[in-house]
Structure 1
Amino acid sequence: MLFNSNEFVFVFLPVALVGFFLVQRLGGPRAGVVWLALGSVVFYTYWRLENVLVFAASIGGDLMKHRDRIAAKRASLTPDVRWTGRREPVKSLDGR
């Protein structure tokens, strides 16, 4: 599907936008992001269904590559730790 095709402009784009705002309103911001991610998969695999495998491999590779970073980020966001813009979280906002 091309960005300047009639099917994109008059079908895919309106469905994606209306769906995004509805899903986000009903399910929250994360649900809206999931909707857009699924829409992206549909968009890029529209011409050839085999592209789903390439997409899945790419997403899986990215997740495996960044899983340590994701786990570290989750661990650093405990309730007693505040983020001050530094690389390391600190216990209080005055930097001590």
Structure 2
Amino acid sequence: MAGKSERIAIENVLQPGKTYPVDAAKFNAMREAVLAVLPDAAPGVTVPKLKEAVLPRLPESLFPGGDKAGWWIKAVQLDLEAKGVVARAPSAPVRLHRT
């Protein structure tokens, strides 16, 4: 049986004070890709455009064919919002940018 992958605790801006354990390698790879493509100012980028920009930056070994990328983008988004690194525009659609 293969060893367990390293886990890290992430936050969720929608549930302050609560953390969730996730795969560290996948989270860190997605975080790096998201931060590389997010604009520095509002209005930001929509989530579908973010996903489009992030997919080519992801390691195929962790996200084969972009598998589960949408879930990981959301996890990174909510964690970075909780930490004040990313903000979303006040109106729909969701648009994200660095703070």
TM-score higher than 0.5: no
**Relative contact order (alpha carbons < 8 A, sep ≥ 6): 1 or 2 greater?**
2
Q: Which has the higher helix share?
A: 1
TM-score norm. by structure 1 comes to 0.26
TM-score norm. by structure 2 comes to 0.26
